[in-house]
A and B are shown apart, each in its own frame.
Chain A
Amino acid sequence: MKTTAYLTWLLLIGTLSLSSCFKHYKAKINIDGSSSVYPLTEAVAEEFRKIEPDIRITVGISGTGGGFKKFLRGETDISNASRPISKNELAISRANGIQFIEIPVSYDGMAIVVSPKNDFVDYITVAELKTMWSPASQDKINSWKQVRSSWPDVPLNLYGAGTSSGTYDYFTEAINGKAKASRGDYTASEDDNVLVQGVSSDKNGLAYFGLAYYTENKDKLKLVPVKVTGEAPAIFPSERTVQSGQYQPLSRPEFIYVNAESAKSPFVKQFVRFYTEHAASLAREVGYVPLPEEVYQLGYERFLNSKTGSVFENKSIVGVNLIQLLSE
């Protein structure tokens, strides 16, 4: 009895390991890059595997910069990016002779939230956010009253992204003008659930994190509309305001960059087509804001026409109209 059981196990494990060793893939697509685009690309890859199990797709997380490094050495076929390719990276791509096709895939909005018990915050301006979060405010701005004189003199408790998250990079760049420049005396966590828990139970708290986490915890949080300047209208982040570019500066498009050489492969072609067709519905599923339908079409056309280069070269990302840029 014992021996039979033992043999069965051996056989089972043997077949399993053998079958995985010798599984034959038609093709392999290497993807790496931003952690904030990862959920979307991974969702697309998962769906794609269902219809094409013989194409092996690996999605890594090295951050946008780390992803581009590999991409520009020709090690990956597709790079996830939560910002357009930078000037330096463009220069490297030219030096290395790497051509790429840029395709926007979704929007990511950032929510400013307070506790539902907070009854004095009606809106917040970008300048006020800067007063709260700039590196110079460390140990100095500790009360809501210091931010706006009509607010009460109660402690200001801040909750925000940890230093290794892409959200942190974008928020600090959009608000403080320089990526990674932030005060350090706040509750910093890469785990957005910690921030939700913290600010929802702290009536003097204020937090920023991805819109998806607000959507999931609507009943525990109060969303704060943002004014670009004192006179501008206060805008709540929503699918509509993020899509139309009204919710600024805390929303950004996210991209995939496809290596032009890899794009010649029929499998990569098939994958990119699948991506642009399903990105809208999957973006909603993972908590992002889909781009307007037209942008997906324009992006796919760019890919079909092998239009290389970045539309953001020498252009600011803040307040862009993607339809206009991509149609040019």
Chain B
Amino acid sequence: MITGGNARIRSEKVMEFLMLLCSMVSVVTTVGIILVLSVDTVRFFGEVSFIDFVTDTQWTPLFEDKHFGILSLLSGTLLTTCIAILLAVPVGVSIAVYLNEYASPKFTSIAKPILEVLAAVPTVVYGFFALQFVTPLLQRFIPGLAGFNALSPGLVMGVMIIPYITSLSEDALRAVPKSLREASYGLGANRFQTAFSVLVPAANSGIIVSIILAVSRALGETMIVAIAAGQEPKLTFNPLESVETITTYIVQVSMGDVPQDSLEYRTIFAAGMALFVLTFLLNNISFWIRKKYQRRYE
């Protein structure tokens, strides 16, 4: 009996250690990424001034006349993300409200898995969908649309992140206390008024968090924009032109023949760091919102 107990304790310890090891994987990876990014970013800023990096309006590190203005890449990233969010938020939240308030349970049980399939489509497929289908379609209505443009991948990216918003928003809506809904109906409000004037405001912390997570996802999205948005770094907010996002640039350089350990090579670490800082900030804001508003509504 005693030996059996010891063996159990030992196996318990081993399991505990294994689980600790598993959780360490994510921590170590994150720390590793930050370290790798930092080392080359620091070396990059040893050669390029930070002021130039954030104020220059041109990004041409691979050419003879070198400029390192991250704004050109940042504008491409933000532009495609904005387009995606403008599409995904109204549609995603509407779907969540509809599924939660209007739809019959049977419809929900069919519609939700289909919606989640959207999240399972490989992004490279979305990319070619944007390039080969959405862009030619849009060109029929918008004659000035370039073959590579920010609009089409932005819209497709919006479709891609709808499930993120819907799924989290629906959870948030479902978590709203029943009493609020009943009170609203009791005061004579109809379904629409109840949904958008009572439930959505009550669930807004969850909805905002879902939007911020979707924004982070859109910022880091690579394949769709690499395929359909073009490779021309340009400081513009015109969705009809071709742009280059930070992620596309990183892909372009790491696939090319740029010699390692050169300034050109280090630009991708600086660009990656800029992206990392951006998503890191957003994730923290989302964390902060969740903490702040949850207290208010519980």
Query: Which residues does A use to contact B, with CB under 8 Å?
Result: 63, 135, 138-139, 155, 157, 162-164, 180-190, 194, 197-202, 204-205
Contact = CB atoms under 8 A, between A and B. Distances in A.
26 contacts: A63-B257, A135-B63, A138-B60, A157-B146, A162-B256, A163-B256, A180-B64, A181-B64, A183-B63, A184-B60, A185-B232, A185-B234, A187-B230, A187-B231, A187-B232, A187-B242, A188-B231, A188-B232, A190-B255, A190-B256, A201-B136, A201-B146, A202-B147, A202-B148, A204-B146, A205-B147
Contacts of A205: 146-147
Interface of B: 58, 60, 62-65, 67, 131, 135-136, 139, 146-148, 230-234, 241-242, 252, 255-258
Closest 9 CB pairs of A and B: A201-B147, A184-B60, A164-B257, A184-B63, A202-B147, A163-B62, A187-B232, A202-B146, A198-B147
Contact of B64 (A63, A135, A164, A187): A135
B146 A185 contact: no
A183 B59 CA distance: 11
A296 B139 CA distance: 49
Contacts of A201: 135-136, 139, 146-148
A67 B258 CA distance: 17
A141 to B, nearest CB: 14
Contacts of B252: 162, 189
Q: For A135, A183, A188, A189, which residue has the most chain B Cβ atoms within 10 angstroms?
A: A188
A186 B232 contact: yes
A160 B5 CA distance: 72
Given A138-B65, A187-B232, A198-B230, A164 B258 contact: yes
Contacts of A197: 131, 147
A199 B256 contact: no
B257 A190 contact: yes
Nearest to B244: A187
A194 B231 contact: yes
A273 B139 CA distance: 53
A187 B227 CA distance: 12
Nearest to A202: B147
A138 B58 contact: yes
Do most interface residues of chain B lie in helix, strand or loop, or is the interface mixed? loop
A189 B256 CA distance: 9
A186 to B, nearest CB: 6
A245 to B, nearest CB: 30
What DSSP secondary structure best describes chain A's contact surface? loop
Nearest to A186: B232
Contacts of B62: 162-164, 184, 188
Contacts of A202: 146-148
A47 B139 CA distance: 46
Contacts of B258: 164
Nearest to B226: A194
Contacts of B148: 187, 198, 201-202
A189 B231 contact: yes
Contacts of A155: 241
Contacts of B135: 201
Given A164-B258, A185-B233, A185-B234, A199 B147 contact: yes
Nearest to B136: A201
Nearest to B139: A201
A163 B64 CA distance: 10
A197 B135 CA distance: 12
Contacts of B255: 190
A163 to B, nearest CB: 4
Nearest to B256: A164
B63 A163 contact: yes
A77 B255 CA distance: 29
Contacts of A181: 64
B159 to A, nearest CB: 21
Contacts of B241: 155
Most A CB contacts (10 A, CB to CB) among B135, B230, B231, B234 go to: B231
Contacts of A185: 58, 60, 232-234
Contacts of A198: 147-148, 230, 242
A190 B256 CA distance: 7
Contacts of A189: 231, 252
A182 B233 CA distance: 15
Given A157-B242, A188-B231, A190-B257, A200 B147 contact: yes
